[in-house]
C-alpha cells in the first residue's frame, strides 16, 4: 500500500541534517547550560549561537528571541502577560484564530474581565481591514492578535499592513506565525510587530520547541518561575538539542526557500487543477484556491459527498495510505466541527466533508494523482 503524507500543517518530517545535528548535541553536549564548568559553557554557547542565527533571519536582536516549548506556550506568554503586566484591557482578534489564542482569550475574560472584539471577515475569511481600523481606539490599552497564515484554510494576512495600522493607533500587535516562519521571510525591522510565536516542527524541526519574539523593552513578564533562564522570561533548563535542531531546521528552510517554495507552489496549483478537472462540484474553503491570498503549503476543500457517506471518507483515505486532516490536527480527535469552517460555510456545505491537504518539499505530482484517483472513486461510489 502507498503511504502518502499530506498533513504537513499538522507536523513535518525532520530533515536528515537536523537529526544528525541533534544527535551530535545529545551525545557530546549534554551539560546543563546554567552550569559554570566547561560542559555547561559548551551547551550555553550552542544555545546562544542558535539564538543569534534565528534572530538574523528575522532581522532582530538575539535578546528578543525567547525559546519556549512551542507556539502555544509562546501565544500564552504574550497574551497573558500583556493583560496581567502591561495593562491591556481589550483584545481584538478574529473568530478563526487558532485555539491557542481563542481559548486563552476566553480565560482572560474570566480571570481579568477584559473585553474582546472580533474583527469582521470577508466572505473568503480574509480580515476586513476597514472594520479593524474602526475597532482600534488609541484611548484604550488594546492588543490585536491575528495569525499570519490560518492553519486550517491557509488564508494569508497582510501582516505588515496590520502591524502598521496597529502602531498608528497605539495598539500592541501579536501574530501567531506558526504556519509562516520557515515558509515566508519576515523582516521585523520593516514589520512593526510587537510579538510573534513560532514552532520548530512546522518547518522540519523537532517537536517540543519553538520561540517567542518579544520586542525589547516590552515590559512582558514570565509565566513560568523558578530560574533566570531565557533572560528571565522562561524558567527551566533549556533543551539544548531541541534548540539547536530548531536553528538547523530554520537555517535549511530559509537557505532553500526559493527552490522549495516554488516547487510546492507548483504542486498546489497542479492539485487545484486536478481537483477541478476530476471532482465536479468541489469547493475551495476560504481563500486557499488563490495562490496570492493563501499560503502555498495548504489546500482545504469541501467535497461533493452526501452527508451519510461523509463519515467514511477519512477512514477510506487512511485505508488507502493517505494522511491528511479533516480540520486542524489539534481538534481532529474531537467530534466537534471546525470553528473556522463554521464561520465561512453555509449549512449545506457544513454537512459535506471538508479535508485539509498540506504539502512539503517531499511531495510529488504522482502522489497528487493517486489522491485524486481515490477521491474520484469515492465521490462516484453509490
Indicate which residues carry an active-site annotation. 330
Report the residue count for the chain: 382
User: CA Rg, the chain, in Å?
Assistant: 21
Q: Which three cell numbers stand for residue 190?
A: 520593516
> Helix axis angle, 240-255 relative to 257-278, nearest 10°?
70
**Parallel, antiparallel, or unpaired: how do β-strands 90-93 and 115-118 relate?**
parallel
CA-to-CA separations, 35 to 57, 233, 353, in angstroms, rounded: 29, 19, 54
Q: Using CA atoms, how far apart are residues 35 and 193, in angstroms rounded to an integer?
A: 34
Q: Which three cell numbers stand for residue 157?
A: 494576512
**Parallel, antiparallel, or unpaired: how do β-strands 142-145 and 90-93 relate?**
parallel
Amino acid at each position: 500500500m502507498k503511504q502518502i503524507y499530506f498533513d504537513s500543517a499538522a507536523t513535518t518530517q525532520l530533515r536528515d541534517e537536523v537529526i544528525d545535528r541533534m544527535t551530535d548535541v545529545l551525545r557530546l553536549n549534554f551539560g546543563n547550560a546554567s552550569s559554570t564548568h566547561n560542559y555547561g559553557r559548551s551547551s550555553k554557547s550552542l544555545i546562544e549561537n542558535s539564538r543569534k542565527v534565528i534572530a538574523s533571519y528575522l532581522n532582530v536582536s538575539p535578546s528578543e528571541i525567547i525559546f519556549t516549548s512551542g507556539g502555544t506556550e509562546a501565544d500564552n506568554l504574550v497574551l497573558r502577560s500583556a493583560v496581567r503586566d502591561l495593562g491591556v484591557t481589550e483584545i481584538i482578534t478574529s473568530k478563526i484564530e487558532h485555539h491557542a489564542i481563542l481559548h486563552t482569550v476566553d480565560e482572560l475574560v474570566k480571570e481579568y474581565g477584559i473585553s474582546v472584539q472580533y474583527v469582521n471577515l470577508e466572505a473568503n475569511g480574509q480580515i476586513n481591514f476597514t472594520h479593524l481600523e474602526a475597532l482600534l481606539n488609541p484611548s484604550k490599552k488594546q492588543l490585536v492578535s491575528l495569525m499570519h497564515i490560518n492553519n486550517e484554510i491557509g488564508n494569508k494576512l497582510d501582516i505588515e499592513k496590520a502591524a502598521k495600522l496597529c502602531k498608528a493607533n497605539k495598539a500592541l500587535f501579536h501574530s501567531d506565525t506558526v504556519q509562516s516562519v520557515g515558509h515566508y521571510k519576515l523582516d521585523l525591522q520593516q514589520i512593526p510587530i510587537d510579538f510573534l510565536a513560532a514552532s520548530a516542527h512546522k518547518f522540519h524541526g523537532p517537536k517540543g520547541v519553538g520561540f517567542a519574539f518579544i520586542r525589547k523593552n516590552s515590559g512582558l513578564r514570565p509565566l513560568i518561575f523558578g530560574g533566570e533562564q531565557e533572560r528571565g522570561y522562561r524558567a527551566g533548563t533549556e533543551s539544548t538539542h531541541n534548540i539547536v535542531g530548531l536553528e538547523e531546521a530554520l537555517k535549511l528552510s530559509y537557505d532553500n526557500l526559493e527552490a522549495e517554495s516554488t516547487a510546492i507552489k507548483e504542486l498546489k496549483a497542479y492539485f487545484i487543477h486536478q481537483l477541478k478537472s476530476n471532482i465536479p462540484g468541489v469547493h475551495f474553503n476560504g481563500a486557499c484556491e488563490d495562490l496570492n491570498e493563501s499560503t502555498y503549503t495548504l489546500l482545504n476543500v469541501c467535497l461533493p459527498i452526501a452527508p451519510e457517506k461523509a463519515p467514511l471518507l477519512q477512514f477510506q483515505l487512511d485505508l488507502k495510505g493517505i494522511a491528511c486532516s479533516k480540520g486542524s490536527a489539534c481538534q481532529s480527535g474531537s467530534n466537534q466541527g471546525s470553528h473556522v469552517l463554521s464561520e465561512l460555510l453555509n449549512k449545506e456545505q457544513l454537512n459535506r466533508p471538508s479535508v485539509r491537504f498540506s504539502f512539503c518539499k517531499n511531495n510529488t505530482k504522482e502522489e497528487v494523482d493517486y489522491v485524486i484517483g481515490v477521491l474520484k472513486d469515492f465521490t462516484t461510489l453509490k
